Structure 1
Amino acid sequence: MIRRSKVLLSVAAVALTCAVAQPATAESDGSSGKPTVRQVSGISPLPAGCGFAEGDGYVLNPNTEVLPALATDPNRPWHLVTVYQQDRWNRYGSNGAVTAVSDDYGRTWRQSTDLPAFSRCNGGTAANGGDYDVTTDNWVTVTPSGTAVSASLSMSRAGDVTAILVSRSGDGGVTWDAPVTLGRDDDPRFFNDRPTVTADPYRPGVVYAVWDRVDVNDQGWVQPVYLAKSTDDGRTWTTAKAYDLPNNSGVIGTQLVPLADGTLLIAMHHETDTEASTQVIRSTDGGRTWSAPTLNAPAPMAVGPRIPDPDNSGDPIRNASLPLLSAQPGTNVVNAVWQSEAADGTYHVAYARSTDSGRTWSAPVDIDKTPVGSAAVPVVATAPNGTVAVTYYDFRNNTADPATLPTDVWAVTCASACTRPGSWREQHLDGPFDARMVPLTSVGRLVGDYTGLVSTGRTFTATYGVATGDPANPVDVHSAIFSG
């Protein structure tokens, strides 16, 4: 069964006011050539002791930030919003979610004035709809009006209560409204999982959220796709099952991408009891009906497997990376990345491209430049001019010491002929850092199930987690600005 549970962004001390005018210097948007790396997070801002007590196998990793998602304002590309998990547990998420904003492409950051109430540590209560032990799988988008919308899988400690929540910020991520519940189950037969939220850049006011919902029944299990839609910038929502599947099959990692011609695409990881694939489905009627998969490429079985450990240390790295899409703005060109598995068991970055709104796709190719071992956690973004960027982690600078695992962050970019692996150019973004110092989960060290990456016009900004080497503040989120 696919079902599974779910770095650190240090907020700069400089407080910025929300910019109205575009920053003008080349240095501010990273176009000088060399990547500009900044810290986004630091010591936890959550109230001390706000979470549930450790014990019964639950271990807290304080002052850790993991799994940053990132969005940019479609009309003000210098304005960015990120959300990440704060104070990660070894099981089922984190004590809270933290949001931060940048008004200079990610060169400086400030924490939001308040936080979306996705958990009790975030200020969630029964009255405001956020009365949950933990939050995880946070995502964020920004609408054409500048409104930010963030999503959460909010849960009970044991995972027997799961809910998909969204929170709206009318001021672009600085302050957040009380959350809206899109779906909730308190019957352990069901498990809501892995939401994403996407604003339609071509249809002002329209926002989509998608997630999967496990149903363990007398005949086995099934894991269909649910879709919620807002037409008023995230104030109100309607929810329905969007894509059903036969029993003993399901999907996870759903991400919806709107295209300029009105087509909607959903990327997802599909599994049965015996096989797995990366799939993309299409809708041409606003999400009411969906096609059979138009991309159906082999993928590793069992979401959440461990990345082959270069040291064979017994302290593995978790791999729950899932398919992601990115469309070239204003066109019907779409880029897809996912984790592939080589014959030797190592993982790599698979890429495919569609130039006809997802009807057909190029043959998958591996595009990472990792010389030995695995490349992990790929994410993708596309610039208006068609340049594509993909970031990932790898372990090429590992040493003979099995107690440490030096890990780096890389980017590859391509301006044309991207279906040929030789067209991609690699650059180093950050590291090495010791991945043995990131939070331990039931399926390995949580380097990241995903990271953040956006195009800001001429350049790209990434957010990702790194270990710091400081026991008092072991994991932070960094941002990197780099050119294509």
Structure 2
Amino acid sequence: MRLLSRSTPLLKSAVLTTLFSFAALSASAQVTRTRVSSDPFTVAPGQHATEVEPHTLAFGSTLVSAFQTGRIVNGGGTDIGWATSLDGGSTWTHGFLPGVTKGEGTGPYDAASDPAVAYDAAHGVWMIASLPISNTSSTPAVIVSRSVDGGLTWQSPVNVTGNVSSSDKNWIACDSTSTSPFYGHCYVEWDNPATGDGILMSTSTDGGLTWGPAKSTANKATGIGGQPLVQPNGTVVVPIETTGISAYSSADGGNTWTKPVTVSNIQSHGEAGGLRSGPLPSAAVDGAGTVYVIWEDCRFRSGCKTNDLVYSTSSNGTTWSAVTRVPIDAISTTVDHFIPGIGIDPNTSGSNAHIAIHYYYYPVSNCTKTTCQLYVGYISSSNGGTSWNAPVTLAGPMQLGWLPNSQNGLMVGDYIGTAFTNGVPHSVFAVAAAKNGTKFNEAMFTAQGLTTAEAGAQLSSAGDRPLHHLSDVVEHDRPEKGIHPPSKRSARRASK
């Protein structure tokens, strides 16, 4: 069924705006939550009225978010949806990528997954990288959809590689610093489950029209969930999950890639209730080039019973700071935090860096599918993480039975993103409501009225120390596309 093509009129965001005030652990705030997209696809095997796994990026006053629409249990969505704001999040236009899936009506693939957004200022092009999935044949490892009109219409995708049997967890970033020697270079990362998650990179220098050969790291390392970040000097740093959290880099515009260095081990508690999650990293870079990488981790919690959000920083991608806890709540609480998305105001840096984090959480970690209560939270710092404002709840409670299923559990997404326009933080995130019979009610929302300005009593984790050191173990998650040897799967969690 054809629902939206390049010639179809754009859909304006539905008028579903709610003014709400939620107590958020130790704070409350009044913000406006607006739905920016919902799933119109009714074609099988998609779970109708579901949208999951958004990534959001900003440049100037423009915000572009991409996400799976119509989640399919075995992997991917019926299509990739998008939502664009040209005025810093005040109003939104949304639609669905053409030329990708059969479910949308104009593409060759059975599903698409893992959307990520980039902007190439040198060529004036927005890009959405995604993972094409076919039930009967091999596909390109990654495809890239391009927009040359500010994210309002999208072209049919270009292939980053030739056809392969498997690929997973792609990401994309572009060098948009005009003084960089590699201004206009764009970088796509993915892994190959067939080789135990072998890390691969490809580079484009023409606005995403063509892509160079797939390149491994210097030691042919394996990993999953890499997020390329470009420093102002043109160096690309890629935090990634390996047997812990690691990072590799390129200082020559993507011609060569170093072997990964260790950022930290992972000590992670598995979320209750069958929710799909894990310690995949989220990363951002400040205006001076300092890289922040954040993930869920239980090292500060007695018995590893709940996860905090923790982070490490680096100015060069090779030397990393000690792991620091984001003090959302006291380490004695039952709150479990996971699926973080970090963003940093690009006009700030160092001790003045404005940091914003969106995340999901359970107030009580020890719960079941029928008793778990899922929320979306937000926390910010105006001084590079020295202290933090009290957290704010943006959505919830949600019951897990309202969420679509996937091959790795009930799903809101493996990641979310946070981005800034003119100093204001934004995200797009999945919010579910009660089903109408068997029909889901999960869509994409954004919250307006957020800030990073220091307000009220500040929170600090300066005195917190890890309580234990657990050994990483291997978790055998199924990839979105293809099959891989389970014995070679990257470490995901240390305990459950």
User: TM-score by structure 2 length?
Assistant: 0.76
1:456 aligns with 421
Question: Do the aligned partners of residues 245 and 36 (structure 1) sit closer, same or farther apart at CA in structure 2, a change above 3 Å counting?
Answer: farther
Deviation of 1:107 (Å): 2.9
Larger strand proportion of the pair:
1
1:81 aligns with 64
1:19 aligns with none
Q: Does 1:66 align with 2:52?
A: yes
Q: Does 1:259 align with 2:219?
A: no
Cα distance in structure 2, aligned partners of 1:159 and 1:475: 31
Q: Does 1:122 align with 2:104?
A: yes
| Residue type at the aligned position of 1:265 | V
Deviation of 1:185 (Å): 3.8
Cα distance in structure 2, aligned partners of 1:449 and 1:183: 24
Question: Do the aligned partners of residues 116 and 320 (structure 1) sit closer, same or farther apart at CA in structure 2, a change above 3 Å counting?
Answer: farther
Cα distance in structure 1, aligned partners of 2:412 and 2:433: 13
Q: Is the 8 A contact 2:263 2:312 kept in 1?
A: no
2:241 aligns with 269
1:273 aligns with none
1:316 aligns with 274
1:365 aligns with 324
Q: Does 1:171 align with 2:167?
A: no
Question: Do the aligned partners of residues 413 and 121 (structure 1) sit closer, same or farther apart at CA in structure 2, a change above 3 Å counting?
Answer: same
Cα distance in structure 1, aligned partners of 2:168 and 2:369: 34
**Structure 2 unaligned blocks of 5 or more:** 1-10, 16-28, 453-496
Deviations 1:75-132 (A, max 9, x none): x2x21111111111111111111112112222322114x624221223444xxxxx11
Question: Do the aligned partners of residues 397 and 80 (structure 1) sit closer, same or farther apart at CA in structure 2, a change above 3 Å counting?
Answer: same
The structure 1 segments of at least 4 consecutive aligned residues displaced by more than 6 Å after TM superposition are 397-401
2:34 aligns with 38
Q: What SS is found at the alignment partner of 1:446?
A: coil
- Give the superposed CA RMSD: 2.7
| Residue type at the aligned position of 2:276 | R
Counterpart pick for 2:433 among 468, 477, 481: 468
| Residue type at the aligned position of 1:79 | T
Matches within 5 A, 1:387-466: 387-396=354-363, 403-416=370-383, 418=385, 420=386, 422-423=387-388, 425-466=390-431
2:270 aligns with 307
Of stretches 256-265 and 357-366 in structure 1, the one that deviates more from structure 2 is 357-366
Matches within 5 A, 1:279-294: 279-294=246-261
Cα distance in structure 2, aligned partners of 1:480 and 1:323: 23
Matches within 5 A, 1:68-147: 68-73=54-59, 76=60, 78-112=61-95, 115-125=97-107, 131-144=108-121, 145-147=123-125
| Residue type at the aligned position of 1:175 | T
Q: Is the 8 A contact 2:336 2:365 kept in 1?
A: no
Deviation of 1:295 (Å): 4.1
Deviation of 1:452 (Å): 2.4
Cα distance in structure 2, aligned partners of 1:452 and 1:11: 22
Question: Do the aligned partners of residues 277 and 175 (structure 1) sit closer, same or farther apart at CA in structure 2, a change above 3 Å counting?
Answer: same
**Structure 1 unaligned blocks of 5 or more:** 1-9, 15-32, 55-59, 126-130, 216-220, 271-275, 310-314
2:475 aligns with none
User: TM-score by structure 1 length?
Assistant: 0.78
Q: What SS is found at the alignment partner of 1:478?
A: strand
| Residue type at the aligned position of 1:455 | F
Question: Do the aligned partners of residues 295 and 34 (structure 1) sit closer, same or farther apart at CA in structure 2, a change above 3 Å counting?
Answer: farther
Q: Does 1:148 align with 2:126?
A: yes
1:227 aligns with 201
Q: Does 1:336 align with 2:315?
A: no
2:175 aligns with 200
Q: Is the 8 A contact 2:372 2:400 kept in 1?
A: yes
2:307 aligns with 347
